[in-house]
Every structure is written in structure tokens, then in C-alpha cells.
Amino acid sequence: MVTGLPTSGKSTRAEQLLAYLAERIAAHSDRTKYRLHLVSDETQSISRAVYDLSPAQLPAHVRSANASEKDARAAVYAAVKRVLSPRDIVVLDGLNYIKGWRYQLFCEAKNMSTPSAVLQIGCAIDRARAVNEARLERRKQNQEGQKQEEPAPVGTESEKAKDVEPYDPANWDNLVFRYEEPNPMTRWDSPLFTLIWEDDAEQTRQVFSQIWDAVAGEAKKVVRPNQ
């Protein structure tokens, strides 16, 4: 489970983790032992807007019902459940910001007798906000460009290519406010690994190697359903 603030670099690290795990599986004596899966809002075609609880966007009664986000979570849960097994490593890229939700996923893994781990992406709030603001700006320019029939995208090359959906600013602020930090003292948030924005390739590989050990290595600790 990857977790972190909105636009803090989660998908970037999830992609790097996938590539690393694929490498380890390829180097494994039994290459067929593990299969790799990515589940994310993007793979499930879930819009950022499902997290938007701002009263300006929705009528007041929807705030408590929070239906769109619940539906989105159900879709993600089903996607994980469909593939998760002791042979299937699932990288779940997403906000995963509710501790009760991480607990549910931990229990799902436990039911399958397969280990789980949490990777928290650490990023200064201002930097994460700047990423979202750049995406908002790019969307605005793209929309204006479309009107004038000359696109004027801003941002990094990879961002331009993907045209990543930004969060509405109030939605972004609210998600930061609602974020429930993982706590390594709890079973469902452990083992807990952390990568920060500045971590270089070497540090990143070290953390990924520890994640491999936790989920697939000799030291992997499986909590059985009856434990």
C-alpha cells in the first residue's frame, strides 16, 4: 500500500517500485513464483473529484453520505481482492489515507495468508501543493489553447504526455486535512517504509529491497487468519 498526501509523488514511486519488483521476480530462481499487479485510481478510472467534499461543489447532505468516494473505495477493494494471493504481489497506488481502510486491506491480506506492507511517501506540503497548482495551470492553458487551437502546455515532459488530472484546490486542501498518518505501532501499518521526495536512486533501491524482503523474501512474515 502506497500512501501519502495528494500530489506528493506516490505514482512516481509506485512505478519505480513496480519496475524494481519486476526485476527481482525476473532474477528469482523460480520466475513463475510471483505475478505483479498495479491497482490505482487511474487503473480503475476513478476521478480525483470523488474525493471532493467541499460544500461549494456538492449539496450539504452529500458531505455525510460521501457516496462517490465510498463507491470508488469499493471498486479499488474489489480490484485488489480479485488478484491478491500468496503468488500475486499487488502494488496499491493511492492516497490510502484512512486508517480504517488500511486496516481493511491488511485484513484482506491476512485472510489470504499473504503479507502486506505500507510505503509512505514523505513530501513537504508546499512542494506537493506546487505540483497540483502546476497541473491546474496546465489544464487552464490547455483549455485556453484548445479555444485558440494552439495548445500551450506547461510542466514536465512526462506530465505533458499524460496530462494528469489535477485536484480542485479546496479538494486538495481537504485531503491534506483528512490525511491519517500511518502509525508503525499498529499491525495494519507495519512494516512501514518511508521514502521522501529527495531520496536518491540508491536509497530508493535500499527501501525497495526491504519491501521485497517483507513481501517475498525469506524473512517474509505471514500473519495467518487465526493469529
Site residues (vs ligand ADP, CB under 6 A) = 4, 6-12, 131, 156, 158-159, 164, 197
Closer to ligand ADP by Cβ: residue 7 or 116:
7
Smallest separation (angstroms) from ligand ADP to the CB of 77: 19
| Least distance in angstroms from the C-beta of 96 to ligand ADP | 11
Q: Output the smallest distance, CB 111 to ligand ADP, in A.
A: 28
Q: How many angstroms separate the CA atoms of 196 and 29, rounded?
A: 32
Contact by Cβ (8 Å): 14, 40:
yes
Minimum distance, C-beta of residue 9 to ligand ADP, in the bound complex (Å): 3
Q: Which is nearer to ligand ADP, 62 or 136 (CB)?
A: 136
Compare residues 95 and 215 and give the one whose CB is closer to ligand ADP: 95
Give Cα separations from 21 to 34, 44, 85, 175, 215 (angstroms): 10, 21, 16, 29, 10
Sequence letter at residue 145: G
Query: Smallest distance from the beta carbon of 114 to ligand ADP, in angstroms?
Result: 25
Compute the C-alpha angle 167/169/174, nearest 5°. Answer: 90
d(CA 206, CA 195): 10
User: Which lies closer to ligand ADP via its Cβ, residue 113 or residue 156?
Assistant: 156
CA pseudo-torsion sign 149, 152, 157, 162 = negative
Contact in structure between 3 and 10 (CB atoms under 8 Å): yes
Comparing CB distances to ligand ADP, the nearer of 88 and 163 is 163
